[in-house]
Amino acid sequence: MTAQVYDLRDEDSLMQPALAAAAKAVSLHNYFIGGALFDSAGHLVAQAYGATVIAGEIFHGETQLAVLLRAGRASGVFPVDEWFTLVTTLQPCPQCRQICIQQKKLLVLYGAPTPTSGAELGDLLETYTNTEKRRIEENDGQPVVRPANLSAVVRQQCVEGHRQHRNPVLRVLDEVSMGLMPFTDLLELVETTDPTVIPRIRAFQDKRRGERV
Ligand SMILES: [Zn+2]
């Protein structure tokens, strides 16, 4: 099997695995929010979905993928000096945005704007922290979090998908939260294209833990 190589300039195509992850999220009673991580050659590294309902409030797809990138770089599984691209169907929430910005050489492209962001939240989202300023310098002065360049059709899939599935989730959120699956590990639900990635990260982590005792 030959792995598909994505053209990083074709942001419609980059959005496709993110949309697929969002569809999976909905099938598992979560919001329609999905993300995909690509390496600098255009290989799909991993997909993740916002598992807020089934796993807990911090299980946002962007956070899971940023944690994968960080852990993978620390383990030597991913290169430190290459750019990665994280594509998400929905504008990241403030905490995911910050977690992404804390990663070096990570570009974040989103589909739909956050429907709940009013002017005040919008201002907050646009606030450049010192970390973000460094990231922007690394990216030749260009923003590191920005809307994807999408065709109207694909953008509408992002917007409508979230809109259609949002209210039913909101209605059951408290009820379902009572029965959260006991996940505590942010890499538990990430689907990597290469199945050896997470075992290699685990092996590195276990080794380092062993060295410390
Ligand atoms: Zn988030």
| Helix segments in the chain, DSSP class H | 11-27, 61-74, 94-101, 119-126, 130-138, 152-177, 197-212
Q: Is residue 72 part of a domain?
A: yes
Least confident of 36-40, 121-125, 207-211: 121-125
pLDDT of residue 197 exceeding 70, the answer is yes
Other residues' Cβ atoms within 10 Å of the Cβ of residue 114? 16
For residues 37 and 133, which has the higher predicted lDDT (pLDDT)? 37
Q: Is residue 6 part of a domain?
A: no
Percentage of the chain lying above the pLDDT 70 cut: 86
Instruction: Give residue 119's pLDDT band: very low, low, confident or very high (50, 70, 90).
Output: very low
Q: Is residue 104 part of a domain?
A: yes
Answer for the pair 88, 33: CB distance below 8 angstroms, yes or no.
Answer: yes
At residue 120, the pLDDT reads: 55
Rounded to the nearest angstrom, the distance between the alpha carbon of 95 and the centre of ligand 1 is: 6
Q: Is residue 4 part of a domain?
A: no
Rounded to the nearest angstrom, the distance between the alpha carbon of 137 and the centre of ligand 1 is: 24
At residue 118, the pLDDT reads: 47
Percentage of the chain lying above the pLDDT 90 cut: 63
- Write the pLDDT tens digit of every residue in 23-78: 999 998 889 999 999 999 999 999 999 998 888 778 999 999 999 999 999 999 99
Rounded to the nearest angstrom, the distance between the alpha carbon of 3 and the centre of ligand 1 is: 28
Looking at every residue in the chain, the average pLDDT score rounds to 88
Residue 139's domain comprises 11-212
For residues 34 and 3, which has the higher predicted lDDT (pLDDT)? 34
Q: Is residue 97 part of a domain?
A: yes
At residue 204, the pLDDT reads: 95
Rounded to the nearest angstrom, the distance between the alpha carbon of 93 and the centre of ligand 1 is: 4
Rounded to the nearest angstrom, the distance between the alpha carbon of 118 and the centre of ligand 1 is: 17
For residues 96 and 94, which has the higher predicted lDDT (pLDDT)? 96
Rounded to the nearest angstrom, the distance between the alpha carbon of 77 and the centre of ligand 1 is: 25
Report yes or no on whether pTM surpasses 0.75.
Answer: yes
Say which CATH number the domain at 104 has: 3.40.140.10
Dihedral over Cα of 197, 48, 90, 103: its sign = negative
At residue 179, the pLDDT reads: 64
Rounded to the nearest angstrom, the distance between the alpha carbon of 190 and the centre of ligand 1 is: 15
Rounded to the nearest angstrom, the distance between the alpha carbon of 212 and the centre of ligand 1 is: 32
Q: Is residue 2 part of a domain?
A: no
* CB-proximal residues (5 Å) to ion ligand 1: 60, 93, 96
Give me the number of domains the chain comprises. 1
Number of residues in the chain: 213
- Write the pLDDT tens digit of every residue in 142-180: 999 999 999 999 999 999 999 998 877 777 666 656 666
Q: Is residue 129 part of a domain?
A: yes
For residues 165 and 7, which has the higher predicted lDDT (pLDDT)? 7
Pairing mode, if any, of strands 34-38 and 44-49? antiparallel
Rounded to the nearest angstrom, the distance between the alpha carbon of 111 and the centre of ligand 1 is: 14
Rounded to the nearest angstrom, the distance between the alpha carbon of 33 and the centre of ligand 1 is: 10
At residue 213, the pLDDT reads: 63
Rounded to the nearest angstrom, the distance between the alpha carbon of 17 and the centre of ligand 1 is: 18
